[in-house]
């Protein structure tokens, strides 16, 4: 890698580079970059810049694995070297554990709702009246599963799901009170506020543990509520993946008797390269995809994906449960009639007796988190 003259090194400590031909593209002469100290099995000090690990002669600098550096590439009389501009000690494992506990991790909404709906009322004695009222208000926002049988009910469920809260508030500032009273996310935020800031909860959140050392009810509720809110924020960020195309994702908990079902709905506009059907003129049409995923009060799952290009619709269903597959097959004529009533030409409706294929663009199904906490 050819180095442009950068002048003599400043007073920062220098790390000589024995192999200047393996420098990462991000490391340009005179430009400061972030780096991290590693050691290999033999104890050799390595400087990680991006995905590249550089072997360096650390000398008496006393670098330790985990240290975070700011370095700059400089030219010296003996060849290229890294000038250390700043050093930061590695984060202790105890501090990292506390940091990970403090960062809300996204969780399915039904995790929180299952706790709220199945927890015996006599176990709520440690909660204040305001906290119990916030819980009741959140449960009152659940959409009855029967509401989805009508088009108007579906529209109301989407409107009040919480995903559109900020958009609705900006669009109708004169109706802030009405929107906030009906919206699920607004109710969830009020519950989190009560659990965090209520004077009676302040000490309990910090010390609340069960007899076996596990988190008690208050800590558990707060963790699950914050995880549910993190999931909603993730869903709201879905459209920013490609602002030029529509891409909306909803996760709606449904009240079904004493059980809670879960509906995931995603509507997205496909890129032209994803659309295989073309107009007679040969010009590609932009297609639409609708994804549905149901989880019924436990592990039973049913998923569907509908592609619409022009007026042509193709529908695929997936489930591992025989009785659900039979129900879909039985309902095939009704589904066909309903799609035709929308002026759509039904190309096919198929039911696959297996799990739905994983969609790599579905952010709610990632494992291990979106970002590493120490990246």
Report CA torsion sign: 170, 176, 180, 181.
negative
Percentage, residues of the chain above pLDDT 90: 31
- On the question of pLDDT at 27 being above 80, the answer is no
Q: What digits encode the pLDDT tens for the residues 239-293?
A: 655 677 888 899 998 888 878 888 899 998 886 555 554 444 455 567 899 999 9
**Nearest by Cα to 115 from 33, 224, 11:** 224
Structure tokens at 297: 């009060």
**Looking up tokens 């996204």, which residue turns up?**
106
The overall average pLDDT reported for the chain is 78
307-321: pLDDT as tens digits: 999 889 999 999 999
**pLDDT reported for residue 38:** 83
pLDDT band at 218 (very low <50, low <70, confident <90, very high): confident
Task: Give 142's strand partners.
Answer: none
The answer on pLDDT for 328 being more than 60 is yes
At residue 374 the predicted structure's pLDDT band, cuts being 50, 70 and 90, is: very low
Provide the token pair at 316. 């695929």
pLDDT above 70: percentage of residues in the chain:
74
Global pTM exceeds 0.85: no
Q: Domains of the chain, with CATH numbers? A: 13-88 (2.40.50), 104-243 (no CATH), 270-362 (3.30.750)
pLDDT band at 44 (very low <50, low <70, confident <90, very high): confident
What mean pLDDT is predicted for residues 9-15?
A: 61
CA distances from 112 to 53, 200, 273, 319 (A): 43, 21, 40, 25
pLDDT at 8 over 70: no
pLDDT tier for residue 191 given thresholds of 50, 70 and 90: very high
Cα 336 from chain centroid (whole Å) = 34
Between residues 216 and 148, which one has the greater pLDDT? 148
Highest averaged pLDDT of the listed ranges 8-12, 57-61, 107-111: 107-111
What are the tens digits of pLDDT across the range 125-153? Answer: 778 889 989 999 999 999 998 998 888 99
Q: Is the pLDDT of residue 9 over 60?
A: no
């Amino acid at each position: 890698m050819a180095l442009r003259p950068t002048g003599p090194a400043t007073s920062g400590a220098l790390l000589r580079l024995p192999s200047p031909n393996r420098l990462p593209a991000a490391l340009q002469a005179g430009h400061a970059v972030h780096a991290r100290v590693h050691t290999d099995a033999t104890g050799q000090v390595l400087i990680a810049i991006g995905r590249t690990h550089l072997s360096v002669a650390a000398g008496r600098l006393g670098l330790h694995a985990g240290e975070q550096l700011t370095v700059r590439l400089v030219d010296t009389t003996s060849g290229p070297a890294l000038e250390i501009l700043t050093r930061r000690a590695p984060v202790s494992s105890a501090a990292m554990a506390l940091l990970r506990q403090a960062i809300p991790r996204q969780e399915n909404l039904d995790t929180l709702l299952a706790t709220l709906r199945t927890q015996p009322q006599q176990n709520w004695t440690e909660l204040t009246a305001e906290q119990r009222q916030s819980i009741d208000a959140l449960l009152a926002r659940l959409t009855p599963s029967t509401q989805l049988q009508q088009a108007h009910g579906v529209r109301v469920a989407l409107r009040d799901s919480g995903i559109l809260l900020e958009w609705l508030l900006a669009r109708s500032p004169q109706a802030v009170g009405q929107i906030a009273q009906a919206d699920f996310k607004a109710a969830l935020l009020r519950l989190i506020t009560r659990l965090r800031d209520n004077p009676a909860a302040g000490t309990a959140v910090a010390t609340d543990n069960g007899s076996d050392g596990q988190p008690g009810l208050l800590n558990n509720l707060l963790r699950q509520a914050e995880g549910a809110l993190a999931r909603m924020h993730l869903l709201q960020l879905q459209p920013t993946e490609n602002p030029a195309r529509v891409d909306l994702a909803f996760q709606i908990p449904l009240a079904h008797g004493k059980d809670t079902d879960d509906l995931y709905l995603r509507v997205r506009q496909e890129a032209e390269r994803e659309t295989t059907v073309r107009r007679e003129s040969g010009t590609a049409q932009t297609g639409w995809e609708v994804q549905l995923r149901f989880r019924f009060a436990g592990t039973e799952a049913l998923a569907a994906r509908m592609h619409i290009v022009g007026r042509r619709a193709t529908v695929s269903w997936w489930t591992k449960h025989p009785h659900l597959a039979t129900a879909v097959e039985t309902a095939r004529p009704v589904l066909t009639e309903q799609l035709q009533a929308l002026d759509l030409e039904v190309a096919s409706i198929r039911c696959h007796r297996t799990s739905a294929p994983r969609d790599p663009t579905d952010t709610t199904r990632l494992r291990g988190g979106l970002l590493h906490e120490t990246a």
